[in-house]
A = this chain, B = another copy of it.
Amino acid sequence: MTARPDPLNDDDRFMNIALEEARIAAYAGEVPIGAVAVIGSEVIARGHNLRETLNDPTAHAEMIVIREASVKLEQWRLTDVTLYVTIEPCAMCAGAIVLARVPRVVFGARDPKAGGGGSVFQILQEPALNHRVELASGIKEDICSNILKDFFGNRRDRDKVEIN
Contacts and interface: CB of A to CB of B under 8 A. Distances in A.
Interface of A: 51-52, 55-59, 63, 66-67, 70-71, 73-78, 90-96, 98-101, 113-114, 116, 120-121, 123, 126, 128-130, 162, 164
A105 to B, nearest CB: 14
A57 B96 CA distance: 7
A34 B59 CA distance: 21
Which 10 pairs between the two chains have the least Cβ-Cβ distance?
A92-B95, A91-B95, A57-B100, A57-B76, A57-B99, A92-B96, A91-B123, A120-B128, A58-B96, A55-B76
Nearest to A113: B128
Nearest to A74: B55
Copies in the complex: 2
A78 B91 contact: no
Contacts of A100: 57-58
Contacts of A95: 90-95, 116
Nearest to A164: B99
